[in-house]
């Protein structure tokens, strides 16, 4: 079981590194790639291009931060320190960044034309924020219990 957990943590770490590298490339190349991808899309012709670009940057940067914090969490799991202040900080950061993404896409659903993709992203960002906030609180309680156990021994 120990070997399986270690290999899964390392696979997660590799996937996150690939995601960070890919997202960095997309964020940098977004102004040049976006017109090429959406050239025949009716949605792209209806929406102001600058507003869409700003939305993608405002949500892309917190998503990059979420991946970075997830990388830190997986490092803590690999080091066998899942209940540490670093994990707690990472979970809080993930929750805050997911709320930012949720608010941006909620704004998009309300004031711009809502497509199925934006609705799915909105619900997904809300769920990520909710779950990470719950896990953040659980880690805080685990840290408190761990500190109490260390004091009694």
User: Would you kindly state where each structural domain of the chain is located, as residue ranges?
Assistant: 2-152
Quote the pLDDT of residue 69.
Answer: 93
User: d(Cα 135, Cα 69) in Å, to the nearest integer?
Assistant: 14
Mean pLDDT to the nearest integer, 16-30: 91
Q: Where are the alpha helices (DSSP H) in 38-152?
A: 42-46, 49-78, 85-111, 116-152
User: d(Cα 90, Cα 16) in Å, to the nearest integer?
Assistant: 14
Phi and psi torsions of 110, nearest 5°: -80, -45
Phi and psi torsions of 83, nearest 5°: -105, 70
| pLDDT above 90: residue 110 | no
Quote the pLDDT of residue 66.
Answer: 93
Query: Do 81 and 57 form a contact (C-beta atoms < 8 A)?
Result: no
User: d(Cα 7, Cα 26) in Å, to the nearest integer?
Assistant: 28
| pLDDT above 80: residue 12 | yes
Residue-wise pLDDT for 54-102, tens only, equals 888 899 999 999 999 999 988 888 888 888 888 889 999 999 999 999 9
């Amino acid at each position: 079981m120990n070997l399986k957990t270690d290999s899964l943590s390392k696979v997660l770490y590799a996937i996150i590194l690939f995601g960070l590298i890919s997202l960095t490339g997309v964020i940098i190349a977004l102004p040049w790639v976006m017109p090429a991808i959406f050239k025949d899309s009716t949605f792209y012709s209806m929406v102001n291009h600058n507003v869409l670009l700003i939305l993608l940057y405002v949500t892309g940067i917190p998503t990059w931060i979420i991946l970075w914090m997830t990388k830190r969490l997986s490092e803590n799991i690999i080091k066998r320190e899942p209940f540490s202040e670093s994990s707690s900080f990472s979970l809080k950061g993930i929750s805050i960044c997911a709320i930012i993404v949720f608010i941006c896409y909620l704004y998009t659903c309300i004031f711009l034309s809502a497509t199925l993709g934006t609705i799915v992203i909105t619900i997904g960002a809300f769920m990520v924020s909710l779950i990470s906030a719950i896990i953040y609180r659980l880690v805080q309680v685990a840290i408190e219990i761990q500190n109490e156990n260390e004091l009694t021994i």
